[in-house]
C-alpha cells in the first residue's frame, strides 16, 4: 500500500506556490477525491502505534514531510511518561510503519523498551514565521461601540 498522504496535492501546492510563473489548469491542481491508498492526516494524528507483539509504543503527534517531493518521511511519536508528563518525541521511519486501510491499526517492528531508549527527535527551528492573514478580523474582540482592545463588547457603550 502506498503510504503517501495526499502527497500529490502537497507537491502540486508547493510547486504552484513556489513557481507563480507556471500557468496550470485548475484540473491539474485540484484533486477531486481521495484515492483508495491515501490516508487523511487527521486519521493518522493521535493514532496509537503498537509493536508487532501488541504492546503500545506511543501516539503519533506529528508528521515530517519532504519539502521537495511532498513525501511523508517520518511519524513523530510521543513515548514514555505518564499522561504526557515526562514523555519525549521520537521519529519513526514512515516506510517502516504497517498501517491498515483506515489507519485504525498502526504497527511497527520495534518494542516499547527500544522506543523509550531512543534519543529524542531534534526539530529544527523555523527560519521565518508566516505573515499573519490580515483578512481574518482577529484582534480587538469588539464589534462596534467604544470598548477597548480585548473588552469583548458587542456594540454597546456603557
8 Å CB contact between 142 and 131: no
pLDDT value for 153: 47
pLDDT value for 22: 60
The pTM (predicted TM-score) of the whole model is 0.67
Block mean pLDDT (10 aa), the chain, length 158: 43 46 78 92 95 96 95 95 82 96 94 95 93 72 48 47
8 Å CB contact between 60 and 77: yes
Domain ranges of the chain: 7-124
Domain covering 7-124 in this structure, CATH number: 2.30.30.240
pLDDT value for 14: 46
Residue 9 host element (H or E)? helix 7-18
| Separation of alpha carbons 75 and 95, rounded Å | 10
pLDDT value for 20: 52
Amino acid at each position: 500500500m502506498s503510504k503517501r498522504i495526499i502527497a500529490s496535492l502537497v507537491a502540486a501546492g508547493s510547486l504552484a506556490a513556489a513557481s507563480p510563473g507556471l500557468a496550470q489548469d485548475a484540473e491539474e491542481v485540484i484533486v477531486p477525491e481521495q484515492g483508495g491508498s491515501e490516508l487523511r492526516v487527521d486519521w493518522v494524528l493521535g493514532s496509537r502505534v503498537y509493536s508487532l507483539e501488541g504492546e503500545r509504543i506511543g501516539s503519533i503527534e506529528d508528521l515530517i514531510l519532504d519539502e521537495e517531493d511532498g513525501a511523508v518521511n517520518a511519524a513523530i511519536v510521543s513515548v514514555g511518561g505518564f499522561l504526557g508528563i515526562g514523555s519525549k518525541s521520537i521519529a519513526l521511519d514512515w516506510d517502516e510503519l504497517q498501517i491498515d486501510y483506515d489507519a485504525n491499526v498502526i504497527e511497527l517492528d520495534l518494542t516499547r523498551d527500544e522506543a523509550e531508549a531512543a534519543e529524542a527527535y531534534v526539530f529544527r527551528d523555523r527560519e521565518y514565521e508566516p505573515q499573519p492573514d490580515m483578512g481574518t478580523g482577529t484582534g480587538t474582540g469588539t464589534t462596534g461601540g467604544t470598548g477597548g482592545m480585548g473588552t469583548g463588547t458587542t456594540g454597546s457603550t456603557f
